[in-house]
Structure 1
Amino acid sequence: MDREKEQELEWLEAQKIETSVDLFASAKKHLQFLETVDRNRELYDGPVLDRAIYRYNACWLPLLAKYSESSVSEGPLVPPLDCEWIWHCHRLNPVRYKSDCEQFYGRVLDNSGVVSSVNGNCKSKTQGLWKRLYPGEPYDLDFDKGDSEDVSEKSSCLEKCTKYDLVSAVKRQSPFYYQVSRSHVTNDIFIQEAVARYKGFLYLIKKNRERSLNRFNVPTYDVDLIWHTHQLHPVSYCNDLEKLIGKVLEHDDTDSDRGKGKKLDTGFSKTTAQWEETFGTRYWKAGAMYRGKTPAPVTTSPYASDVLAKKPTENEDYQNLIQFLELEVVEVLLEIIGVRNLPDGHKGKLSVVFTKTRPDSLFNAERRLTILSEVGEKQVASFQCEPTGELCFQLISSSPSKIPVSREPKNLGFASLSLKEFLSPVITQLSVEKWLELTPAKGKTDLKPISLRVAVSFTPPSRRPSILHMAQPRPSCKGSCFFPIIGKSRHAKSSTQIVDDTQTEVITLRMSDGAAPKDDHSAQRQVIGVVNSGETRVLAEYKGSFWSLLDSEWSLKQVNADNTLFELLGTRLVKIFSGRKLDYEPKHCANIRSDQDFMTLVEFSKEHPYGKAVGLLDLRFGSIEVKENWLVLPGIVSAFILNNVLKKGGFDGFNATTKVIQHESLKTNGLKEESKQTKLVVAVENKVNANTAETAAAIIAPEKGSGCGGGCSGECMVKAATNASGCGSGCSGECGDMMKAATNATGCGSGCSGECGDMVKATANASGCGSGCNGDCGGMMKATANASGCGSGCNGDCGGMMKAAKASGCGSDCSGECGGDMVNAEKASSCGGGCNGECGGNAVTAVAVA
C-alpha cells in the first residue's frame, strides 16, 4: 500500500472518533454567546467582573447543584449572563473544573438541563428559584451598578469557592472572540470542516499517547473553536476523552508567549509536521489562522442605547442614484506540495508560476512558488481574489547558475483548478488537495505526463468593501487623468470625480457657494452631484453648524467628545475618528504611513455598542473604503466635504480654523502646486463651546514610496537580512514592521506575539506599476531584476512585487500591505496563520515546519 493510501485511511480512522455532543449545533450557539458577551465588555475586567465571580461561586453553582438533577424540577435552568460567562471560563480548564466540582459538590456539574441566557426564553422558573434562595441578590446584574459594593470580603467568607484564578482565566479567554468573529466562521461548511479537523486533532493526541510521546499539540482557530465547544459540555467531554485516551485532556491556555522557540511556537510547528505526515493534507487553513492582537477599542464606554438614530428608511431615490462596483472576495491559502513524473535533469531547479485565467480586480498578476518536495521548505501563498474563474499553474524549470543567464527558463506544462467548482453557486468544500496533470507546453510527449500536487483552501465568499477614489479630471494629461486632491485649493466650483478601482466614474461632485453674498461663508453652501445620466442633484447643504445630507436623511457635524472628530447621523450612528482604528488598526510595516493620514468611520448600535469599523478615509490619497452598502453614498459625500474643507484651509461651518503649511511645490504631471516630496501639515484648531482642542494631521509623502502589493495603500518598506525569517503561524504583532532580522533568524511559529519579521531589502531593476497603481511606483523598496510593479489595488507609492533573497514574507491571512504583491523568499520563513493584514503582501513564502 502506498503512503498516500495509508494517509487517507488514517484520516478515515480519525473520523470514526465519536463524541456525545452535537458539536456542529453547539458551535453555532457558542459563537452567539461569545458575541453577546462581547457586547457587555464590563465582564472582561474591573468591579463588574469581581462581582460576577462572587455571584458565580455564591449563587449559580449552588443553585445548579441543588436543582439541575432534581427529578421534581420542571423546565431548564437559565443562568444570568454574568454567571454564565464565568462558568464558561471555568469549564475551559476541564481538569480544574472537574476537581473543583467534585471537591465542593461531589460530582461534575453538567450543562444538561441548562439553556444559555442568549437562547433562553424561559427565565421565569430560574428567576423564581433565584429569588427564593437569594432574596438580597438580583437575578440580573446591573452592570452600571456592578461596582457599588466591594465583594472581596464576602467572597473570602464563602465556604464553597474555587481557588482557581478566574480573573486571569477571563482575561485569557476574552480575546478569543476576536479570532473567531469573522463572518465566514459561522458558515455551515466551515464549521463542518472544523468538526472533522477537530477529530483529526484528537486522533494525533491519541496516537502520541499510544506511542508514549509527550507532545504539546497546538490547534488552529477553527479546531480550537470546536475544542472549546466540546469542553462546555463537561460530563460529555470527560467521558469522551476518558474513552478515547484514558484521561481528561487538559486545555492549557496559560501559555500566551508566541515568540520564537517558545512552547506555542515549537508546539505549532510540530503539530503542523505531524498532521501533514499523518494525513497527507495541509494543517494551515484559510480563515482559521491567528489574526493578530485584538485591536484597541475606540471607547471604553458602551453605546448609549437611548440615543436613537432616525428610523431606517428605504429611500430608493437615493439608493438608485449611483451604481458602484460590488464584488465578492475569498481568501486563499495555496501551497505546492510535490511533483511526479519529472524528466531527468530538472530536479532542484523548479518553481510554479500561478495566476488567474480571467481578469480579476483583486488578483491580476503572476506569482511564483517553490515546490515543497523539491526544496524541502514550506512556501505558502496567501492572497485575496474573486471567487470566479480558475487558478492556472505553470511548471518552470530554471537554468543552473553556471549556465549563462541568457538561457530562457523552460515551461514544462500547465494545469488549472476551478474556483467556481467549489464555491459557486453552492459551496461544496473549502479545502482541496489533489494531483493536477500538466498539459505539455509544446505538443505531445511520450513520457508519462508530469503532475503537480496542489493544496488550496478558501474562505466562503464575502462582500468586498467598496473602494472609491476622489480624482480631479485633467483633460490635458496623458494616460491616467486621475490624481488625488491634495495640494493647493482650487476654485470652489471645480469638480471632483468619484471613481472605483477600475477608474469607472461613479458620480461627479462639486462644492457650490450658491447665491449667498461673498462675505457670508456659512450660507447656502452645497454639494452638487452629477450622475452618469447627466442628472444634477443637491446632495448636501450647510445649515450653519452642520451639514444636511441627502434631503436631511443624514447630518454631518463636528463633535468634541470621546476622541471623536465628526458624527454622521441618519439611519445609523457613525462616528468619525482620527487615525486607523479597530479592523483598520495598522500592523506590521503599515506603520510607515502616518496614522493621521486617515479617519475611521465607526458605526455604533445595540449590536455594536463598542463600535464596528465600517469605512476608512485616506486623506492623503483622497480615497474612501466602505464596508456596507448603506454607507456608500453618505460616505462619499462626507468624505468629499471633509477633503474639501481640509484642502481649503478651513472647516467653514465647523467653527474652526485650519492652518495649512506646504513646504515645497510640485511642477509635474500638470499639477503646479504639488511636490515630489510633499510635506503637508494640517493643524486643526477646534473651538467648540469655548473649549479649544488641537488636532494635528501630518501628511508626508516620501519620495517614491514603499512597495506595496495588492490592496495596500502605500505603507510598506521591508528589509530582510540573510536567512531572515518572517512570522510563523500567527504573527500577533509587528511582523515585518521595519524590524531587522539577524542572519539565520527563524520565524515565529504558532502566533508570534512580538516583533517578528523584518524589513525586506531586495536588489534593483524593478519594473513599472501594475493595475491600480495611483502614485509613484518603485518607491522606497528595491526589487530584484525583472520584478513586477504594483499589484492590483495599489493606491499609493508602490514598490511592486518584491523578491528578496532569503527574506521573510507572510503566511496565511496576509491580506494587506506588506512587501508588495508577493514576497518570494528563498529559504525564508513567513507569517503563518494569521498575519491579518500587512505582512508580506498578497503572496508569501514560509520555511518548512519541522
Structure 2
Amino acid sequence: MDEKNNQKLEWLEAQKIEISVDLFAAAKQQLQFLAAVDRNRYLYDGPALERAIYRYKACWLPLLAKYTEPSSICEGPLVPPLDCEWVWHCHRLNPVRYKTDCEELYGRVLDNSNVSSSVNGTSKSQTETLWRRLYPTEPYDLDLINKTTSETERKHTTTTYDLVSAVKRQSPFYYQVSRPHVDNDVFLREAVARYKAFLYLIKRNRERSVKLFCVPTYDIDLIWHTHQLHALSYCKDMTKMIGKVLEHDDTDSDRSKGKKLDTGFSGTTAMWEETFGARYWKAGAMNRGNTPKAVTTSPYGFLGKKLITAEEDVIVIQSPEVDVIEVVLEIVGVKNLPDAYKGKVFVVFSKTQPDSLFNAERRLSVLSESCGEKQVAMFKCEPRGELRFQLMSCNSKALGFVCLSLSEFLFPVSTLSVEKWLELTTPAKRGKDPISLRVAVSFTPPTPSPTVLHMVQTRPSLKDSCFFPLVGKARLAKVFTRVVDETETEVMSLQMRNSNGDTRQVIGEKDSGESLVMAEYDGSCWSLLDCKWSLKKIRSGERDGPLFEIMGERMVRVYSGRKLEYEPKHCAKLRSEQDFFMTAVEFSKIHPYGKAIGLLDLKTGSIEANERWFVLLGIVSAFILSDLLKKEGSLDKVKANVIKVETGVLTDQVKLEEETMMNVDVATPVLEAAEKVNGGAKCYSKELNASGGCGVGCGVKSGNITEEEGGHCGGCGGSGCSGGGGRCGGMTKISGCGGGSCGGGSCGNCSGGCGNMIKSNANEDVRVAAPEALNDAVTV
C-alpha cells in the first residue's frame, strides 16, 4: 500500500511541473497547421521545398527579427506564409540548434509570441505590407513560376542547418497523429498530463545520475512538439527544470541491436510503470506504421457544389450506425490467490455483449504471475456492454470472474485510462479475502465505425464464383443480389436488368417491395441515383492510375488494389491479394491528394464505406463494377488467383516474396488496436528480434508477440519518424511511439518487415512483447 501511495505522490509531483504555454490549445492549433501542410504536400520535397527554405532563411527570419525587436512598431501579430511557417516549424523541432542559430544570427531566440499561424484566419495584410517593403521582388505567397530574387537577398547570412533533411524527417509525423480521436479534448488533456510525467522522469533521472533514453509515445510526442514550437518558453521551462535545453535531435537512425534506439522504449516503459504505478502503453497513442503511398503526386481540384448528407442515403437504405473504440488491455496482477495456483493462472477475456467488431474469447497472462513477461491485448470493439474477465488455472479450472463496464467511462467520455482492482465472483467461498484482479485498460474516444455490407445471391452459385450475380443464359430473370449488414439483416436487393439495345438498368428493391431504378446505362455512361452521379471507365495512362471515375457532388476515383489507409504493408500474401480489392478515393479541397472512403473486396463480395454518404453510392457502384469486370473476364482472373492462393499454388514471384519476407526481422513493434477478423478471435504468433524506433531514441528487444489478423507490426515513429510496420497476415501493431531525443538522444526513421508467422488457435495467448520490446528514447 505504501508503494501505491508513493506512486500516486510521484504522479502528483509530476503534475506540478511548470509549463509557461497553454499546451492543450497550442496542440489543437498544431494539428490544424499540420493538416494544412499535408494538403500542400509539394512542401515535403523537391523544388517547392528548396524554394520555401530559401524564403524562410532570406525573408521570414530577417522580417521576424526586425519587427519583433522591442523598439519596432508593429501593430497586431505577424503572419508567416504557409511555406515559411512549415520550414520554421521543422527548424524549431531541433530546439538546441534553433536556439544556437538564432543567437548567432540575431543575438536572441526568435519567438512566436507576436506571431499568428497562417491557418488561424488572422488578417495577414499588415505582414504582406511589411514583406513587400523589405522584399519588393519576392511575392508574399510562394510562387514557383517566377523565382527571381535580388542579389542582396541571395547573400544573406543564414543557418547551415540541413533543413531539407529536417523537413523530410518531420513530414510523416502528421499521419501518426491525424486520427479523429487525437483531437478529442479528454485525449489531449491526458496527453498533456503524460507529457509532464515524461519530463518528470527525465528530471528525476538527472537528479539521480541515471542514464536512460526516455522514449515518448505519440500522444506525448505531440505535446512535446507543441512545447518546442514556443521556442523561448521551451528554453526557459527546460532550463528551470533541468538546467539546460532538452534536446530533440532527430538525426540518429541507428537501430542496431543494443544501441540507444534499441533499448530506449523498454527502459522508459519499465521506469514509468515503476514510478507511477500506471501503464505506459496507451490506446490510440502508438505507431500506425509507414505513411501509405499516395495515389497521385499531383493534387486534384474540388469540383463539387455541396455536400451530401447522410439523410439522403437513409431515404433509400438504412444501415446501422456503429461507433468503435480501440482498446489496450493488460492484466497487471492478482491478489489473495491460493498458493496452489500461484504462477499457474491466466485470464480469458471477452465481452458480455459480443458485437460486430469483437465477439470472441481471448487469453491473456497475468504480469505478476508470468515471470515478468509482459502481455498486452489490443483490439477494437463497440463502446457498449462490459469487458468480462475470467480467471483460469492451467488445468482449465475457473477460479472466478468479474466485469468492467465500458459505458461508465465513455458516456460521456470522462477518462481514457483505468487501472483498478476488481473483486472476483467465485464459484465457492474462499476465505475472508476474495481473489481480485488488477486490470489496466485504456481506450480511445468513440468514433464512427466503417459501414460494412455484403452482397449475397438469392440462389446457390458455383463453388468458385464470386458473390455477384452471374450474367448469362443460365441467369433467371428475377434473381436478385441481397445486400446484408454484419448481422445478416437485409438492407436492400439489387438486380441487373437488360433493356433494348445497350440500355441497362440496376433495380433496387426495398423491404416494402417497392422497386427503384438505382442506375441506368445509355451505351456510353452509367447514371446513378436519380442522375446525381455518373460512373465511367477512364484510361489515365498511369501505371497505378484510377480505373473508374464517379462524378457528382463530389469526385471519387476507383483504383485497383488496396490503397492509402487500406494499403497492405510487408506481407507477400497480402500483396498478392491486391487483385481482390478496389479502393474508392475521394478528392476534395480538404483531401486534394485523396482520402480512401471505401473498399470493395471482390473475393468475398463485401463493401466497406468510411463515409455515410458513400454507403448507397458504393453499393450501386460496386454492383456495376463487378458486372463490368465479369464481362471483361477480369473477375475470372481474380477467381483464378483466389484459388491459387487458397490452395497454395502461388506464382514464382509470390513464392519468392513469401520466402524473402519470412526472413525479415520486425522493427520496433508498437501497440495499436487490432482490426476485426472473425470477431477479433484469429491470432498469429511469432518470435520478434526487433530493433528500431526513434524519438528521443527508441528501440525494441526480442519478445513474444501474438497479433490479430489484419493489424500491423512495425516500427515506431517520432519527431516525425515513420514507423516501420506492415500488415502481417494478422499482426496487431505493437510498435512504438513518438520520438525525438534528449541529451544527445535521437530519432530516426523506422522500418520493419514480417518475421515467421505461426497461426494459432483463436483462444491462444495474445503474446505481446515484454516491457523492453518497444521504442523511442531520451538520454539526459
Q: Fold conserved (TM > 0.5)?
A: yes
- Give the corresponding residue for 1:583: 565
1:156 to partner: Cα distance? 9.7
Following the alignment from structure 2 to structure 1, what is the Cα–Cα distance between the partners of residues 701 and 244? 37
Query: Are 2:378 and 1:382 equivalent residues in the alignment?
Result: yes
Return closer, same or farther for 1:565/1:529 CA change in 2, 3 Å cut-off. same
- Give the corresponding residue for 1:354: 349
Return closer, same or farther for 1:388/1:457 CA change in 2, 3 Å cut-off. same
Q: Which amino acid aligns with 1:377?
A: E
For the 8 Å contact 1:352–1:394, the answer to whether it is kept is yes
- Give the corresponding residue for 1:430: 416
Query: Are 2:698 and 1:702 equivalent residues in the alignment?
Result: no
Following the alignment from structure 2 to structure 1, what is the Cα–Cα distance between the partners of residues 441 and 294? 34
Following the alignment from structure 2 to structure 1, what is the Cα–Cα distance between the partners of residues 95 and 552? 48
Q: How does 1:809-820 map to 2 (within 5 A)?
A: none
- Give the corresponding residue for 2:769: 847
- Give the corresponding residue for 1:107: 108
- Give the corresponding residue for 2:680: none
Query: Are 2:48 and 1:41 equivalent residues in the alignment?
Result: no
Deviates more, 1:454-463 or 1:61-70: 61-70
For the 8 Å contact 2:454–2:485, the answer to whether it is kept is yes
For the 8 Å contact 2:496–2:507, the answer to whether it is kept is yes
- Give the corresponding residue for 2:332: 337
1:384 to partner: Cα distance? 0.4
Q: How does 1:600-619 map to 2 (within 5 A)?
A: 600-619=583-602
Return closer, same or farther for 1:255/1:837 CA change in 2, 3 Å cut-off. closer
For the 8 Å contact 1:601–1:616, the answer to whether it is kept is yes
- Give the corresponding residue for 1:504: 489
From 192, 201, 220, give the equivalent of 1:223. 220
Q: Which amino acid aligns with 2:96?
A: V
- Give the corresponding residue for 1:244: 241
From 728, 741, 746, give the equivalent of 2:669. 728
Return closer, same or farther for 1:193/1:745 CA change in 2, 3 Å cut-off. closer
SS in 2 for 1:594: helix
1:121 to partner: Cα distance? 2.2
Following the alignment from structure 1 to structure 2, what is the Cα–Cα distance between the partners of residues 287 and 165? 32
SS in 2 for 1:564: coil
Q: Which amino acid aligns with 2:100?
A: S
Return closer, same or farther for 1:381/1:572 CA change in 2, 3 Å cut-off. same
- Give the corresponding residue for 1:456: 441
Return closer, same or farther for 1:810/1:174 CA change in 2, 3 Å cut-off. closer
Q: Which amino acid aligns with 2:393?
A: S
Query: Are 2:544 and 1:558 equivalent residues in the alignment?
Result: no
- Give the corresponding residue for 2:26: 26
1:600 to partner: Cα distance? 0.6
TM-score by length of 1: 0.78
Return closer, same or farther for 1:628/1:745 CA change in 2, 3 Å cut-off. closer
C-alpha RMSD of matched pairs (Å): 3.8
Query: Are 2:639 and 1:680 equivalent residues in the alignment?
Result: yes
1:304 to partner: Cα distance? 2.4
SS in 2 for 1:237: helix
1:72 to partner: Cα distance? 2.4
For the 8 Å contact 1:295–1:581, the answer to whether it is kept is yes
1:461 to partner: Cα distance? 0.4
1:290 to partner: Cα distance? 0.7
Q: Which amino acid aligns with 1:383?
A: F
- Give the corresponding residue for 1:80: 81
Following the alignment from structure 2 to structure 1, what is the Cα–Cα distance between the partners of residues 310 and 263? 56
For the 8 Å contact 1:430–1:458, the answer to whether it is kept is yes
Q: Deviations over 1:96-122 (max 9, x none)?
A: 000100001000011011000110421
Query: Are 2:451 and 1:469 equivalent residues in the alignment?
Result: no
Following the alignment from structure 1 to structure 2, what is the Cα–Cα distance between the partners of residues 319 and 462? 20
Return closer, same or farther for 1:476/1:62 CA change in 2, 3 Å cut-off. closer
1:211 to partner: Cα distance? 1.4
Q: How does 1:105-254 map to 2 (within 5 A)?
A: 105-143=106-144, 145=145, 149=147, 157-254=154-251
- Give the corresponding residue for 1:414: 401
From 497, 503, 507, give the equivalent of 1:528. 507
- Give the corresponding residue for 1:52: 52
1:309 to partner: Cα distance? 2.8
Return closer, same or farther for 1:832/1:313 CA change in 2, 3 Å cut-off. closer
Deviates more, 1:312-321 or 1:180-189: 312-321
Q: Which amino acid aligns with 1:265?
A: D
Following the alignment from structure 1 to structure 2, what is the Cα–Cα distance between the partners of residues 88 and 278? 33
Larger helix fraction of residues: 2
Q: How does 1:781-820 map to 2 (within 5 A)?
A: none
Following the alignment from structure 1 to structure 2, what is the Cα–Cα distance between the partners of residues 2 and 99? 46
Structure 2: where are the runs of 5+ without partners?
Answer: 650-656, 673-683, 717-722, 739-750, 773-780
Return closer, same or farther for 1:570/1:757 CA change in 2, 3 Å cut-off. farther
SS in 2 for 1:168: helix
Q: Which amino acid aligns with 1:336?
A: I
- Give the corresponding residue for 1:710: none
1:475 to partner: Cα distance? 7.3
Q: How does 1:285-324 map to 2 (within 5 A)?
A: 285-305=282-302, 308-312=303-307, 318-324=313-319
Following the alignment from structure 1 to structure 2, what is the Cα–Cα distance between the partners of residues 347 and 155? 78
Q: Which amino acid aligns with 2:768?
A: A
Count of residue correspondences: 719
* Bigger relative CO (Cα 8 Å, ≥ 6 apart): 2
- Give the corresponding residue for 2:621: 638
For the 8 Å contact 1:718–1:760, the answer to whether it is kept is no
1:251 to partner: Cα distance? 0.4
SS in 2 for 1:274: helix
- Give the corresponding residue for 1:570: 552
TM-score by length of 2: 0.85
1:83 to partner: Cα distance? 0.7
1:253 to partner: Cα distance? 1.3
SS in 1 for 2:455: strand
1:729 to partner: Cα distance? 2.6
Return closer, same or farther for 1:809/1:622 CA change in 2, 3 Å cut-off. same
Return closer, same or farther for 1:645/1:754 CA change in 2, 3 Å cut-off. farther
SS in 1 for 2:599: strand
